[in-house]
Chains A and B, each alone.
Chain A
Amino acid sequence: MLYAFLCYHDEDAVFAWSQAHDEAVMTALHKVHAPLEKAGRFGPTARLMPTTAATTLRKDTDPPQVLDGPYAETKEQLLGFYVIECADLEAALDVARDLAKANPGGAYEVRPVRGFYPGNLSGDTSGA
Chain B
Amino acid sequence: MSDVDWIEAALTAARPQAIGALLRYFRDLDLAEEAYQDACLRALKSWPKQGPPRDAAAWLIMVGRNAAIDQVRRGARQTALPDEAVLSDLDDVEAPLAERLDGAHYRDDVLRLLFICCHPDLPATQQIALALRIVSGLSVRQIARAFLVGEAAMEQRITRAKARIAKADTPFEAPGPVERAERLAAVAAMVYLVFNEGYSTGPAGEDDRGALADEAIRLARLLLRLFPAEPEVMGLLALMLLQHARAAARFDAAGEIVLLDDQDRGLWNRRMIGEGLALIDKAIRHHRRGPYQVQAAIAALHVRAARPADTDWAQIDALYAALEQLEPSPVVTLNRAVAVSKVRGPDAALTMIAPLESRLGGYFHYFGLKGALLKQLGRNAEAGRAFDQAISLAATPAQAAHIRQHLDQLAGEAAAGR
How many residue pairs bridge A and B at CB < 8 Å?
77
Please tell me which one of the listed residues B5, B10, B228, B273 contacts residue A68 in the complex, with CB atoms under 8 A apart: B228
User: Are A73 and B56 interface neighbours, CB within 8 A?
Assistant: no
Contact yes or no, B270 A128, CB < 8 A: yes
Q: Mark B254-285, 1 if CB is under 8 A from A, else 0.
A: 00000000000000001101110011001001
Whether, in the assembled complex, B321 has its beta carbon less than 8 Å from a beta carbon of chain A, the answer is no
97-149 of chain B: CB within 8 A of chain A: 103
CB of B9 within 8 A of CB of A16, answer yes
Count class of interface residues, chain B: 20 to 34
Which stretch in B85-93, B218-226, B290-298, B379-387 binds the other chain? Answer: B218-226
Q: How far is the CB of B222 from chain A (nearest CB, A)?
A: 7
Of B5, B6, B52, B279, which one neighbours A53 at CB under 8 angstroms?
B279
- Residues in A neighbouring B201, C-beta threshold 8 A: none
* A86 interface contact, C-beta 8 A: no
Q: Which residues of B contact A105 (CB under 8 A)?
A: 6, 9-10, 52
The secondary-structure label for the interface of chain B is: helix
Interface size class of A (residues with CB under 8 A): 20 to 34
B204: shortest Cβ distance to chain A, in Å? 10
A1 close to B (CB within 8 Å): no
Of all chain A residues, which has the CB nearest B228?
A: A69
Given contacts A53-B278, A104-B52, A128-B274, whether A68 and B229 have CB atoms under 8 Å apart is: yes
Task: Say which residue of B10, B103, B222, B237 sits within 8 Å of A13 (CB atoms).
Answer: B10
Interface pair A52/B274, CB less than 8 Å apart: no
* B55 part of interface (Cβ distance < 8 Å): yes
Asked if A17 is an interface residue, CB under 8 A from chain B, the answer is yes
**Contact partner, A75, options B55, B229, B271, Cβ 8 Å:** B55
Complex: how many Å from CA A98 to CA B1?
Answer: 13
Contact between B1 and A12 (Cβ–Cβ < 8 Å)?
no
Given the known A-B contacts A15-B218, A75-B55, are A68 and B1 also in contact in the complex, defined by CB atoms under 8 Å?
no
Known contacts A28-B1, A53-B275, A103-B1; A21 and B229 CB within 8 A of each other: no
Let me know if B221 and A102 touch, CB within 8 A: no
The 4 closest A-B pairs by CB, nearest first: A128-B274, A12-B13, A13-B13, A69-B228
> Can you identify 5 A-B contacts, CB atoms within 8 angstroms?
A12-B218, A12-B222, A21-B1, A21-B5, A52-B224
B: which residues have CB within 8 A of A? 1, 5-6, 9-10, 12-14, 51-52, 54-56, 103, 218, 221-222, 224-225, 228-229, 234, 237, 270-271, 273-275, 278-279, 282, 285
